Amino acid sequence: EAEVAQSPRYKITEKSQAVAFWCDPISGHATLYWYRQILGQGPELLVQFQDESVVDDSQLPKDRFSAERLKGVDSTLKIQPAELGDSAMYLCASSYPPGPNEQFFGPGTRLTVL
């Protein structure tokens, strides 16, 4: 069964360090999403890609967060420098065709910033 892949599953870092997360969507899914979930809350969208283009990054803290999807397939989300408040679960999702269709989520990366 096709799944969204994410790595690493867990990451512990110290504040001010750089971290990166990787996501590989379901094959053929042109739309890719990165969400952040703080403990006890529902996930919130950080950035949405359609192929290699960003279509929504209105909630991405651009002073420290960046995201890319250079070839329109897998994607990397980076935080530099990490802050204590960035501790959260980072979830990647994908969907097809373009539009408000069913989204499928990966297992997530749990980030702890010390």
Partner 1 sequence: GIQVEQSPPDLILQEGANSTLRCNFSDSVNNLQWFHQNPWGQLINLFYIPSGTKQNGRLSATTVATERYSLLYISSSQTTDSGVYFCAVAWKTSGSRLTFGEGTQLTVNP
95 and 114 Cβ atoms separated by less than 8 Å: no
The least CB distance from residue 97 to partner 1, in Å, is 11
Q: Tell me which residues in 34-93 interact with partner 1 (CB under 8 A).
A: 35, 37, 41-45, 48, 55-56, 89, 91, 93
The span from the CA of 48 to the CA of 81, in Å, is 22
22 belongs to the binding site for partner 1 (CB under 8 A): no
**Distance from C-alpha of 59 to C-alpha of 92, rounded to nearest angstrom:** 15
Q: Which is nearer to partner 1, 54 or 80 (CB)?
A: 54
Cα–Cα nearest to 21, from 114, 96, 95, 86:
86
Residues that bind partner 1 (CB under 8 A): 31, 33, 35, 37, 41-45, 48, 55-56, 89, 91, 93, 95, 98-108, 110
